[in-house]
Structure 1
Amino acid sequence: MTDTAHTLGTSRTLWELVERRAALTPGRPVLLQGDRSLTFGELRERAERCAAGLYGMGVRPGTVVAWQLPTRIETAVLSFALARLGAVQSPVIPFYRDREVGFALRESKADFFAVPGVWRGFDHTEMARRLGARGIFEAYDDLPDGDPAVLPPAPASGVDVRWIYWTSGTTSDPKGVLHTDRSLIAGGSCLAHALRLSEDDIGSMAFPYAHIAGPDYTVMLLLYGFPAVMFEQFALPEALAEYRRHGVTVAGGSTAFYSMFLAEQRKQPGRKLIPTLRLLAGGGAPKPPEIYHAVVREMGCQLTHGYGMTEVPMITMGAPDDTVENLATTEGRPPEGMEIRISEGGEVRLRGEAVCRGYLDPAQSAAAFDEDGFLITGDVGHVTASGHLVLTGRIKDIIIRKGENISAKEIEDLLHRHPAVGDAAVIGLPDPERGERVCAVIEQPPGAEPLALETVTGFLRAQGLSVHKLPEQLEVVEALPRNETLRKVLKYKLRERYAGSRVTPS
């Protein structure tokens, strides 16, 4: 990390970080979207005017303001305006509907709710009214506006809870995750430190700004003083024109994004998909080693992958100068200040400034931390001699077949080597004889020859997989179910879908 970025990383609050960056490089762009751009100086000025408008509406330090807005320049301005006031923000992913949104509004006790109006054919304002939300206002093109002279002093403390982020809520209601300005700055600093970026880079936000990755990425922009292209709606190949137009050097999001870029690259092999691209980076889901090798080989750029979650936005990250082995098979190393402890059962536990303060529900908070204050992640892994973290799966993804533990990720990584496999998810299903049986659910690339179970098991045997780990069931699907944020595979939906299926006992 540069000396300037390191100094900025000591900012107590996000608003202090904005002010310090605006003073350094007021005329440099920070956000690019279509024909529009916003400089660091304009971000500060527009956010202050918006904060004054919000203040006139009754928003005060500590007021809870939920917002469900797409990835737009205006969304970032509104968020920093709320940070200027010291309000408590509750970002909600714009794809969520009545059940998730209603839960977030009730649990956070939001006093205000910012919505985009009708967006992508859905009326968010009507939903907000239907849910009985308080203080509804639209914030798509037009934002509240006022004279900054009315504003109270900016918050001085960065350790108060001012953010409520929501986990995806798979088999139960979402959890409200409590963050501070300092925890978000620490997470963004980790990302910035690992990627070794410079003010000459141009990044990209292809994910929802309401995701925990939003502030994570924006902190990096503020630390290093370079811009990012914002995508309100991301789809390939449509988005490629914007990547090329702005000369994006750093792209990514998660493993699903890497696969999407690869699929486009394979339509024109030998011609670089994005001429200026030098780095794909992301996290949020496991990365099979074969994906790493394919990106480097076919796209002609580096790939660094990391490990994060809503509770800890950035835990580890691969560095561009890591060894090929570490980049392909690990999640990178933690930054200074992030402690990783592996329990006797192999579970990953975390402690550090980037770790959340807990959950809205005190009972969930009490269960989330061990006696030494380490967050219990539910992930399984180990740390190598070089300090790199290797994840081998989730505790709930460990399949226990006839008393033997089987890692779903090990099988998935091998399946990704097969040319007729586009993506794969391995799950354990209830089985009266085995306890659990191994089921492989496969998404095939266009034009691939249909796969049979015998073909898959024969391939896995040839890759050296132990016989007791071989799948006993194969399901081929048109598309694996994914969430709307980082396109993470939702295994619980696969377990629900195939739980009642039967196979012939061995």
Structure 2
Amino acid sequence: MSDNLTKALSESPAGLSSTTIWQLTQDRAELTPDAEFAVDEHGRHVTFAAFRDLAAEVAAGLIERGIRHGDVVSWQLPTSVESMALSVALTRIGAVQNPIIPMLRATEVEFITRQVGARLLIVPSSYRGFDHAAMAKQVQDRVDSLDVLVVDDGDWPVGDPGSIPEPRTDPDAVGWIFYTSGSTAAPKGVKHSDAGLIAAARTFVVNLELTEADRLAEFVPVAHVGGIAHMLDALLVGHALIMSAVFDPVACADLLIEHEATLIGSGLPFTNAYLQLSAERGVAPLFPHSRATLGGGSGRPPGLSAATAERLGGVGIISGYGMTECPYITWGTPHDTAEQHAVYEGIPSSGGEVRIVGPDGHVLGVGETGEIRVRGPQLFHGYVDPALDDGALDEDGFFRTGDLGHLDADGRLGVTGRLKDVIIRKMENISAQEVEAVLVGDPAIADVVVIGLPDEVSGERVCAVVVPQDPAAPPTLESVRAHLRTTTLNVRKFPEQIELVDTLARNSLGKIVKSDLRQRFLAAEGLDPKTSEKS
């Protein structure tokens, strides 16, 4: 056993102590080479040693293609062992990698690759019926000095690992750029290091008490920071991932059942699909080996955790809180009460901190609601656009999340709302401002505002509140969506509800008070504006 691995094995509940992702991959493969790292939807089983070897071969192949330390490589790929191996390979080279969610299209991919200065864009030929290769060629024609690599099964660049230079050793160097859709229309590039991402994964490992016996669902896109975090927690403790590139509720549920998943994930859309399947099959628990179902990324009805415990198995929902700028800052634990599973997002660990701040900037006490601010070793290294850094952190180095919440006496976080103008639908951030900017071009609309309303299936739905140009011929949901299909707005951001009003009231500063509109339509649906529950 190497000296490095001996040091890494000052094992705590947080797993290996490796500080870079390549070293973590090596240490795990040396410690448990034949243990299962992943099983996928095709029935393929991959060990930790095989994963390390594949990552090294892909690193060598990229070097042969001309990729060097410091180069920016954008990749837009579905979840697979190869995609994960690519991410590790890029850390081995010392490149700066830029994962891009597969649902983003040419307009967004062009913006991102140009802003990061990407040298290479890696895409599949197609995914879920969309021609990514053609889109990448379109982007390449518009972005200077951008090369494109199209990869499919068996087409990955590989080479002799003996040709790879020494790996990057600075765990705090910026090596990752994730993009998030926030309260502005343009996506924001968020810079991270290996050390920060490993710290995020450690919070999950510690709070969920992961061991090598766990088997975790990996259906979150690997290009999402949460997908990378799950890869890292597998490397930290040596548990297996059960993965699929496409989420099909029946096929994925059967995959989890067959491979005895212990942690079911990850988020409201998945949970609702499994609950429906449990009811259709008349089987409870649907996942007999489950310890818990993972939550986070959007709000959830208070009764969902209890239903999940009964129908899916385990303790119910264990939820976490974070954002691209500070991922996995809190997670619940298996020891939380049923009430805590229902409504709280857990506690920080691994050096993370959460505080609640009032409008005057003072830190609030237990149970008081204010803005959630966070800091910890997983905090980002700033934005790609430095103009966005101004005001992102407060004077104590806490990130201003724009979310509202409170802490209980044990430091457990409850999230109650948002200051920012963002709608979280199916765990994806949607800028209301961006949707509004496109809707104003609809000739049938005189004035419009976009709000988020709670939805039991998607967390929130996009609702456009519209003043018609002609009250006698108002726009409909169908006509609005038809107009949007003539624009570059991504279909996932299209409104799912239209509400017609005579006027949109504005305050003395000329601003529409969206909270008032939201309360109005919640009340119209028979929901309590304070809790979003049936009154």
TM-score bracket, shorter-length normalisation: 0.7 to 0.9
2:169 match = 156
1:139 match = 151
Residues 426/274 of structure 1: CA separation in 2 closer, same or farther (3 Å cut): same
1:474 match = none
Matched, 1:353 2:377: yes
Matched, 1:20 2:93: no
Deviation of 1:102 (Å): 0.7
Residue pair 2:72, 2:120 contacting (<8 A) in 1 also:
yes
**1:297-312, aligned counterparts within 5 Å?**
297-302=310-315, 303-312=317-326
Deviation of 1:438 (Å): 3.3
What whole-Å deviation, never above 9, does each CA across 1:50-83 have from its counterpart, x for those lacking one?
1111111111111100000000111011111111
Structure 2 unaligned spans of 5+: 1-8, 360-369, 423-450, 466-502, 508-512
Deviation of 1:170 (Å): 6.4
Residues 357/364 of structure 1: CA separation in 2 closer, same or farther (3 Å cut): same
Q: In structure 2, what residue type is equivalent to 1:24?
A: L
Residue pair 1:69, 1:92 contacting (<8 A) in 2 also:
yes
Structure 1 unaligned spans of 5+: 399-407, 443-452, 472-506
Residues 269/99 of structure 1: CA separation in 2 closer, same or farther (3 Å cut): same
**RMSD of aligned Cα (Å):** 2.9
Deviation of 1:198 (Å): 1.5
**1:170-209, aligned counterparts within 5 Å?**
171-209=184-222
Residues 147/291 of structure 1: CA separation in 2 closer, same or farther (3 Å cut): same
Residues 7/432 of structure 1: CA separation in 2 closer, same or farther (3 Å cut): closer
Deviation of 1:274 (Å): 2.5
Which residue among 128, 132, 149 is the counterpart of 1:124? 132
Q: Percent identity?
A: 37
Once structures 1 and 2 are overlaid, which stretch shifts more, 290-299 or 432-441?
432-441
What whole-Å deviation, never above 9, does each CA across 1:151-205 have from its counterpart, x for those lacking one?
1101111101000000035650100000000000000000111111221111111
CA distance in 2, matches of 1:360, 1:269: 50
CA distance in 1, matches of 2:59, 2:156: 10
CA distance in 1, matches of 2:396, 2:273: 41
CA distance in 1, matches of 2:312, 2:319: 16
Residue pair 2:15, 2:205 contacting (<8 A) in 1 also:
no
Residue pair 1:53, 1:146 contacting (<8 A) in 2 also:
yes
Residue pair 1:425, 1:440 contacting (<8 A) in 2 also:
no
Matched, 1:365 2:389: yes
**1:19-418, aligned counterparts within 5 Å?**
19-33=26-40, 34-132=42-140, 134-141=146-153, 142-168=155-181, 171-302=184-315, 303-345=317-359, 346-396=370-420, 412=454
Residue pair 1:254, 1:282 contacting (<8 A) in 2 also:
yes
Q: In structure 2, what residue type is equivalent to 1:438?
A: R
CA distance in 2, matches of 1:190, 1:9: 13
CA distance in 2, matches of 1:48, 1:218: 16
Output the TM-score relative to the length of structure 2: 0.76
Question: How many correspondences in the alignment?
Answer: 438
What whole-Å deviation, never above 9, does each CA across 1:216-237 have from its counterpart, x for those lacking one?
1111101110111111100212
Residues 342/105 of structure 1: CA separation in 2 closer, same or farther (3 Å cut): same
What whole-Å deviation, never above 9, does each CA across 1:84-125 have from its counterpart, x for those lacking one?
111100000111111111111111110011111122222212
Residue pair 2:269, 2:458 contacting (<8 A) in 1 also:
no
Output the TM-score relative to the length of structure 1: 0.80
CA distance in 1, matches of 2:14, 2:170: 17
Residue pair 1:426, 1:439 contacting (<8 A) in 2 also:
no
SS at the partner of 1:59?
A: coil
2:428 match = none
Residue pair 1:378, 1:395 contacting (<8 A) in 2 also:
yes
Matched, 1:438 2:518: yes
What whole-Å deviation, never above 9, does each CA across 1:256-300 have from its counterpart, x for those lacking one?
221121111121334432332232113111233211121113323
SS at the partner of 1:262?
A: helix
Residue pair 1:428, 1:438 contacting (<8 A) in 2 also:
no
CA distance in 2, matches of 1:422, 1:281: 15
CA distance in 2, matches of 1:265, 1:92: 33
Deviation of 1:245 (Å): 2.0
